[in-house]
Structure 1
Amino acid sequence: MGSVTESRLSATNPPAPPFDSTRDTRYFFPSEGHAEALSRLLFLAEDRNMGIGLMTGEIGSGKTMLRTVLHARLPAKTHTRVSIENSLLDFDDLLLEILSQIHGQRLRATDYPDRYTRLAAFKRALTEQIAGLGGHLVILLDEAQQLDLGTLEALKGLTNIASERQNFLTLILIGQPELRTLLRQLPQVDQRVSLRFHLTALTEQETREYVRHRLDVAGYTGDLPLDDEALERLFKASRGIPREINRICKIALEHVLDEGLGRFTESAIVTVVEDLRRHGGLFDLGADPL
């Protein structure tokens, strides 16, 4: 009969940091909501004729990780993918960034000095370099709640570049819930949104599975080193928001190792959450996070 693996956290178990805020897609956790969001967005992009999609979610809910996974899952042979993280750019600068990503090199603003030349270059690349070869352009625009109304309307105009039978591009707007309010100010854009999805927080059971998943990816061996009481405290303090779970667990892991506890205990989670709240390091989760 084989020996039972000891379920203890140590300096070498796991060997890699499990709760760092990175975009390593191995750490993507397909909760019910995240899996559905990914499935819908893949359908939107692969359909090619739905125009504009919208995904919203609270701060830290996993939108950027989803964008990264979506970008990776779309086949490069059929989909030219453009991912934009900084939505504070105006439309002209966005056009230059889109062109740069399409061409795979940083283009100089002086070569495309105005909107007319950039639009002409974009239309040429879209119709000849992408759609003309059977491809489709997908633009993933993160933090889209930062866009001004004029830029949003101009972006919608890009989706008008199409043939009689086929759209040439899909625009996916990703942002915080206020993005929905922003879109309602532009009915001509809002009515073009074919697919909408709001990313919700994890449930308590999903929070347990999320912690397990990240530990597994980091190389942890053994049973889940998370007491039921600790899980309850973690879920209540984080509200199931992945970024907050990571923040709490990253510091709690250091506390567990320093104290030689070997597990995430209730007291370890409480200690970390109280410290984060005291120093303003935890997202505002209400008056009583514990």
Structure 2
Amino acid sequence: MYMEFYKLNGRPFQLTPDPRFYFDTRTHKKAMAYLTYGINQGEGFIIITGDIGAGKTTLVGHLFDALDKTRFLLAKIVSTQLDADNTLKMVANAFGIGTDGLEKSAILHRIEDFLRSQHREGRRVLLIVDEVQNLPVSALEELRMLSNFQEGNRALLQIFLLGQPEFRDKLALSPELEQLRQRVIATHHLEPMQEEEVPGYVYHRLKLCGWQNDPMFTPEAFSLMFEYSGGVPRRLNNLCSRVLLFGALEELHEIDEKVVREVIDDLKKDQTPTTGPKHISQVDTVSGVGPMRSNIPPKVRAELAAAASEVYLNGAEAHILRRLEVLERYVRQHDRTIRQMLDILSEWAENASDSYSKTGTDAQ
């Protein structure tokens, strides 16, 4: 809905990773430098870690979008507590290699044959393993074994490992992963963006969706958005989507601190198990409604709870009704548009029918 109000041609803050929305923060610049270095080396493992929603997938997607597809072949798997054998099967399937009914040795042979055929055709093969923190040591060792395939002095497969911060601990503290550690040629941990980077990030994504300076954000709004999100892109995207929806409902063209704070309060309520009148009736110990005042007679407690609920609802009623009024106005606009389209189609169908009948009569 906010896309229509702000005349956007896409969703600027979708949660699904999209390399098109890549934004070059300081930490992303450093990560890109390490990734580029690793690709130029043409061997070993490259590791990118970061908290949930830090933008690991978007970063790597942006890198590979820039690669020459005639020179590089890319496959990706997302690990979900796979054992070593199933990890191997997933790798093979990602490259289009069939594994049904095959023993492990046969799968390895097929993968090796595939890698050598790509090498002969002048292509380098890259594999992304996402959510790598879920893999057991045995599966990580299986990936290391795949990196042993070589043609002369050139590795036939290069592997990118993407994971959450705990993977760094697993890699550093597991004695069984010593050989894998020695194969890592580049690593970087994605940090949250800095506060001064938030305005550029928000406007960058809006511009990619046709933004024409509507809405504008105040500096105080950006500060509060950073405070809530901690600079984590996914949390910021979620907040921005809700802010734009709120702005459209209220028909706002400037987003200030008050708007962002109200949206944040709504988000916090969404994440609270009990809210609204029920919450008030259970925990408002000041008014004597909550469990700490259990000595109050049940009839009096019920009356107090009802009164507290009424106060809560009356305080929110005007705001809710105002939002509903805006929504209803949009629905009416859509209904009018649909009726106009149906009238046009009906008129077109009648004209076509008359024309067909006339043609038939002339033919007779």
Normalising by structure 1, report the TM-score.
Answer: 0.86
> How far 1:180 moved relative to its partner?
0.6
Match of 1:122 in 2: 111
Structure 1 residue matching 2:217: 3-state secondary structure: coil
| Counterparts of 2:217 and 2:3, CA distance in 1 | 10
> Is 1:182 aligned with 2:170?
yes
> Is 1:39 aligned with 2:39?
no
Partners of 2:247 and 2:255 within 8 A in 1: yes
Structure 2 unpaired stretches of 5+: 273-364
Q: Is the alpha carbon distance of 1:97 and 1:9 closer, same or farther for their aligned partners in structure 2, counting shifts above 3 Å?
A: closer
Structure 1 residue matching 2:150: 3-state secondary structure: coil
> Is 1:270 aligned with 2:261?
yes
| Structure ranking higher on relative contact order (CA contacts 8 Å, 6+ apart) | 1
| Counterparts of 1:228 and 1:40, CA distance in 2 | 33
Cα deviation digits, residues 50-109 of structure 1 (max 9, x gap)? x11111111110011112222322222111111112343333223223223323xx7352
> How far 1:224 moved relative to its partner?
6.6
Question: Which residue identity is paired with 2:86?
Answer: D
| Counterparts of 1:208 and 1:9, CA distance in 2 | 19
> For 2:71, which of 61, 78, 89 is the aligned residue?
78
> For 2:127, which of 130, 135, 139 is the aligned residue?
139
Question: Which residue identity is paired with 2:90?
Answer: E
> How far 1:202 moved relative to its partner?
0.7
Match of 2:146 in 1: 158
Structure 2 residue matching 1:219: 3-state secondary structure: coil
> Is 1:15 aligned with 2:6?
no
| Counterparts of 1:99 and 1:225, CA distance in 2 | 49
| Counterparts of 2:84 and 2:36, CA distance in 1 | 26
Equivalenced residue count is 268
Structure 1 unpaired stretches of 5+: 1-7, 282-290
Match of 1:90 in 2: 83
Cα deviation digits, residues 174-213 of structure 1 (max 9, x gap)? 1011011111212221222111101111111211100000
Runs of 4+ in structure 1 displaced over 4 angstroms? Answer: none
Structure 2 residue matching 1:236: 3-state secondary structure: helix
| Counterparts of 2:71 and 2:22, CA distance in 1 | 24
Question: Which residue identity is paired with 2:28?
Answer: H
Match of 1:58 in 2: 51
Partners of 1:142 and 1:173 within 8 A in 2: yes
Match of 1:3 in 2: none
Cα deviation digits, residues 224-274 of structure 1 (max 9, x gap)? 711111111000110110001100010111111111221221111111212
Percent identity of equivalent pairs: 29
Question: Which residue identity is paired with 2:189?
Answer: H
Q: Is the alpha carbon distance of 1:53 and 1:188 closer, same or farther for their aligned partners in structure 2, counting shifts above 3 Å?
A: same
Match of 1:226 in 2: 217
- Name the larger-Rg structure: 2
Please show how residues 202-217 of structure 1 align to structure 2 within 5 Å: 202-217=193-208
Q: Is the alpha carbon distance of 1:119 and 1:141 closer, same or farther for their aligned partners in structure 2, counting shifts above 3 Å?
A: same
| Counterparts of 2:158 and 2:259, CA distance in 1 | 46
Question: Which residue identity is paired with 2:244?
Answer: L
Which stretch shifts more, 200-209 or 13-22?
A: 13-22
Q: Is the alpha carbon distance of 1:164 and 1:87 closer, same or farther for their aligned partners in structure 2, counting shifts above 3 Å?
A: farther
Partners of 2:132 and 2:161 within 8 A in 1: yes
Q: Is the alpha carbon distance of 1:132 and 1:9 closer, same or farther for their aligned partners in structure 2, counting shifts above 3 Å?
A: closer
Question: Which residue identity is paired with 1:67?
Answer: V
Partners of 1:31 and 1:202 within 8 A in 2: yes
> For 1:235, which of 223, 226, 229 is the aligned residue?
226
Question: Which residue identity is paired with 1:78?
Answer: R
Partners of 2:128 and 2:159 within 8 A in 1: yes
Partners of 2:82 and 2:136 within 8 A in 1: no
> How far 1:222 moved relative to its partner?
1.9
Question: Which residue identity is paired with 2:33?
Answer: S
Q: Is the alpha carbon distance of 1:226 and 1:23 closer, same or farther for their aligned partners in structure 2, counting shifts above 3 Å?
A: same
Normalising by structure 2, report the TM-score.
Answer: 0.69
> How far 1:25 moved relative to its partner?
2.2
| Counterparts of 2:266 and 2:215, CA distance in 1 | 24
Which structure has greater helix proportion?
2
| Counterparts of 1:275 and 1:150, CA distance in 2 | 45
| Counterparts of 2:63 and 2:80, CA distance in 1 | 18
Partners of 2:225 and 2:260 within 8 A in 1: yes
Partners of 1:96 and 1:109 within 8 A in 2: no
> How far 1:169 moved relative to its partner?
1.4
Please show how residues 95-106 of structure 1 align to structure 2 within 5 Å: 95-103=88-96
